[in-house]
């Protein structure tokens, strides 16, 4: 068995061992006052060699002792973390296991001695690489332990933040469920119906049989802000065109949101899934109905609440459809609340989904960030709905040739059809043109040129006659 590299071993070593130490010190220019590292007892046996890896000062030195049946490494104390004992889950550094291989660790006053048995097969064994591998293993262990510790503290901080919010939020919030109750509601998460930016959505049923959608916040970011945003916004409002939050769960790191169930899924499916079933449902009259419903919901968020709610992620995926194809705005994870008289808001970074983000969120040169940023996203959504095309398609190499706003604008100016995948009547063509013109107003680069959602509702419902074609919404 390999013995400890301790001071007692050094004192009891033979004259031959002392000679080896002197030779080693002379080779490395270490003075007589320098504390030499202890050598393995019996290291002078045939087939055993000693090779230096690093020397520093009298407080730290590293050597590799290659023995016939093991590799023993002494590392300087300053290289290893002061909580090595805690990391190895031992009261003292000895008799531990690492990857099913025995590993012995002995402590002296100024260093840690680590013995790792290895399979020595040839004299060409590289001592330095072996030592590096051993050290790397411990570095990985230390990093893993540190990561887990920081993650635990981070999760605890988020939990406290969420609990503080829920306490100050009052009793007007939706029903709070335990995680055990959520599992029962979601029937142990067997029926997955969707995947969002913050997690998975499962179908479930409340105890009274009402169908619900349970969103598990698996990819939660922003220190719990997505959860807080959802509860703080739709948790206290009720509107026909905004999905209703029925309950929530916050239990340590587990957070869930329970919504009313939307059987017809999201608008995205009907715009981009080009099959006969979806295309027959999304006719121009239905497009106008859906666009008007979304506009009414956004108008309520911007003007009808005690605090103005900016959504910052309006897109087809976040528009859900109920049994009657009424649209409902969902996913308020990026939402921001502000005073109703506050015209400009401050953000540290752009929010939303590429293709729907207003220019001012990228650069303040276009103007201030406000509710008009949501108006831009709405305009892009409507353009996609009337054209059946995405505003950006990764599958197309030259995006400049197919920029959706330019394509729609040029066809409106030329009086050409926008719906190309089916035959429509003249009345339906007028509805599509009306939608396109409203959308082009909404995506004006200058936020001041975009209409409010109240004006958008009036434009869509015909209260504003003789819609004028806006300036080009692109350079």
* Binding-site residues: 215
Give the H or E element holding residue 205.
strand 200-205
DSSP result, 344-383? -B--SS--S-TTTS-GGGT-GGG--BSTHHHHHHHHHHHH
Helices (H) and strands (E) in the chain, counts: 13, 16
State the Cα–Cα distance between residues 255 and 242, nearest whole angstrom: 21
Active-site residue among 313, 398, 401, 417? 313
Contact of 320 with 265, CB cutoff 8 Å: yes
The two tokens of residue 221 are 């970011």
In 3-state terms the chain splits into helix, strand, coil percentages (rounded to 5) of 40, 20, 40
Nearest residue to 26 via CA among 52, 60, 65, 59: 52
Angle 27-32-38 from CA coordinates, rounded to 5°? 70
Q: Which residue has the tokens 């680069």?
A: 445
313 is catalytic: yes
State the Cα–Cα distance between residues 375 and 60, nearest whole angstrom: 65
Alpha helices (runs of H) in 415-468, residue ranges in sequence order: 426-442, 453-460
Residues annotated in a binding site for ATP: 215
State the Cα–Cα distance between residues 164 and 320, nearest whole angstrom: 31
State the Cα–Cα distance between residues 233 and 245, nearest whole angstrom: 9
Angle 118-123-128 from CA coordinates, rounded to 5°? 60
Contact of 215 with 201, CB cutoff 8 Å: yes
- Which of the residues are catalytic? 313
């Amino acid at each position: 068995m390999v013995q400890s590299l301790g001071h007692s071993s050094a004192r009891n070593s033979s004259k031959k061992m002392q000679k080896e130490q002197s030779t080693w010190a002379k080779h490395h220019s270490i003075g007589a006052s320098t504390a030499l590292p202890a050598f393995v007892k019996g290291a002078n046996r045939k087939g055993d060699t000693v090779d230096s890896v690093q020397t520093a000062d009298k407080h730290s030195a590293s050597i590799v002792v290659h023995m016939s049946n093991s590799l023993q490494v002494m590392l300087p104390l300053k290289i290893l973390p002061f909580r090595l004992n805690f990391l190895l889950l031992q009261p003292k550094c000895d008799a531990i296991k690492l990857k099913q291989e025995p590993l012995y660790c002995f402590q002296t006053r100024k260093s840690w001695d680590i013995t790792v048995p290895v399979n020595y097969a040839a004299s060409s064994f590289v001592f330095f690489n072996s030592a590096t591998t051993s050290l790397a293993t411990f570095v990985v262990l230390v990093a893993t332990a540190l990561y887990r510790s920081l993650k635990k503290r981070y999760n605890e901080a988020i939990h406290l933040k969420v609990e503080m919010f829920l306490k100050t939020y009052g009793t007007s919030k939706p029903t709070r469920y335990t995680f055990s109750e959520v599992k029962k509601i979601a029937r142990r998460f067997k029926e997955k119906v969707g995947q969002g930016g913050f997690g998975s959505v499962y179908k479930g049923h409340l105890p009274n049989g009402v169908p619900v959608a349970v969103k598990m916040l698996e990819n939660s970011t922003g220190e719990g802000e997505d959860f807080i945003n959802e509860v703080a916004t739709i948790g206290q409002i009720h509107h026909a065109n905004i999905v209703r939050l029925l309950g929530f769960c916050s239990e340590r790191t587990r957070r869930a949101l329970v919504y009313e169930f939307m059987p017809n899924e999201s608008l995205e499916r009907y715009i981009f899934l080009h099959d006969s079933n979806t295309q027959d449902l999304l006719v121009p009259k239905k497009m106008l109905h859906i666009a008007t419903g979304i506009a009414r919901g956004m108008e309520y968020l911007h003007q009808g609440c005690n605090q103005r709610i900016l959504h910052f992620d309006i897109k087809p995926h976040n528009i859900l459809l109920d049994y009657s194809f009424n649209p409902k705005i969902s996913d308020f994870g990026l939402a921001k609340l502000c005073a109703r008289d506050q015209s400009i808001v401050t953000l540290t970074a752009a929010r939303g989904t590429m293709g729907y983000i207003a220019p001012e969120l990228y650069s303040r040169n276009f103007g201030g960030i406000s509710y008009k940023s949501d108006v831009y996203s709405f305009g892009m959504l409507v353009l996609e709905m009337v054209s059946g095309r995405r505003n950006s398609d990764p599958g197309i190499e030259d995006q400049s040739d197919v920029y959706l706003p330019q394509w729609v604008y040029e066809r409106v100016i030329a009086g050409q059809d926008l719906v190309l995948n089916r035959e429509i009547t003249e009345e339906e063509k007028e509805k599509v043109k009306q939608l396109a013109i409203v959308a082009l107003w909404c995506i004006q680069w200058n936020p001041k040129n975009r209409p409010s959602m109240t004006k958008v509702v009036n434009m869509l419902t015909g209260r504003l006659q003789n819609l004028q074609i806006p300036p080009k919404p692109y350079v």
